[in-house]
Amino acid sequence: MDHLFLEKVEHALSVLTNVYDVVRIVDPVRNTVVYNPGKEVPDLEKSPCYSVWNKDRFCDNCIALRVQQEKTTLFKFEMIGSQVFLVTASLFSWHETHYVLELLTDITHKSIWTTMRDGKEENFAEAILRFNDSVVKDELTGVFNRRFINERLPIQLFNHVLAGTAAYLLMVDMDFFKHINDVYGHRAGDAVLQQFAGLLQAAVPNLSSWVVRYGGDEFLLYLEDVSRAEAERITRTVHDAVAAFTFTVPEGIIRTSCSIGFCPLQTDMEMQEWLEQVDRNLYQAKQKGRNSICGL
C-alpha cells in the first residue's frame, strides 16, 4: 500500500472520521490493519485487526473475510469491555488488491440498543457472541460449521504457502452411527454427537487450530503450529479417546469407535484437493474394517 494510496484514502475518508467512532482499512487475508486515521502514525504491517476487540486470535466470524468473499456490505455487533459497537464492512480494491473498509459505531447508549437491552434481562456480551457465532457455529455440537471451512481454510492455506509452514487435516467419522440412531433414536444420536464433538474439541492443541462438523457424523480437525510427530500423536489420541469413552444417552450408555483419515498439506496442494485426499484416506480407514487410521 503506497503513499499515493494513503493520500487518496485520507481524503476520501475525511468525512467518515467525523461520523463514525472508528474508521479503518483491513487486509482480511493477513488479518492486519493497513490504515487507521485515528493513529498519528498508521502501522501498516504489524497491527492485527482483531486486537481492537482484545482478542489474541482472528475472529471466528470474521466480517472482513466474509465481505471479501461475498463482495457485499455486511454488519455485525462486537464488544470492547462494556461498550457495544455496530461494525459495517464494505469491499474496495486498489491495484487489483482487495481491502475492506470497516466503520465502527458505538451504540452502547443509542436508543435502539437501549430498548433492546431494557426489554430483556440477559448478559449482552453473551447475546452478541451467540449472534455472531450463529453464522459459523453448528447449532447442535457448538463446533464450527461447514461454512467456516469455506471462509477460513483458503486464507490459512494461502498463508502456509507464503510461509512454507506445515498444516494437517484429520477427517474423523463415528463408526456405526446409523446403528445408534436406529436402535436408540435421534435424541440419543444427538447426545452422542455432542459428546463426540467435545472429545474432538478437547484435542485441539492451540488457538489457531479448529474443529468443524463436516456433515452428519463426520468432523474435520485442522492442525497448525504443531510438528508432524505431534499431529500424529493427536490423531492417535483422538482415536483412542473415542474408543475408551462411555457415551451417556437417556436410554443408558453407548460404546463406539471412530475411523480417521489423516493428511498433511503437500506442496502446491489446493484446498479442494486437500479435502478430497483426507476424505479418501477416511474411506480407506473405513474399508479396513473401521476403528482405524489411514494416512499416517
- CATH 3.30.450.20 positions along the chain are 3-136
Classify 3-136 by CATH class. alpha beta
Four-way CATH pick for 146-294: 3.30.70.270, 3.40.50.970, 3.30.70.100, 1.10.8.60: 3.30.70.270
pTM over 0.75: no
Alpha-helical runs (H) found in 245-287: 271-287
Residue ranges matching CATH 3.30.70.270 in the chain: 146-294
The pLDDT assigned to 42 comes to 40
Q: Which three cell numbers stand for residue 207?
A: 488457538
Q: Counting Cβ atoms within 10 Å, is residue 18 exposed (0-12), middle (13-18) or buried (19+)?
A: exposed
Residue-level pLDDT, tens digit, the chain, 296 residues: 556 656 666 666 665 666 677 888 888 878 888 777 664 434 434 467 777 777 777 777 788 888 887 777 777 888 777 778 888 888 877 667 788 888 888 877 664 455 455 545 455 566 666 766 777 889 899 999 988 887 788 778 877 877 788 999 999 999 999 999 999 999 999 999 999 999 999 999 998 899 999 999 999 999 999 999 999 999 999 999 999 999 999 888 999 999 999 999 988 888 899 999 999 999 999 998 889 999 98
Spatial distance between the Cα atoms of 288 and 260, rounded to a whole number of angstroms: 11
Q: What is the pLDDT of residue 18?
A: 63
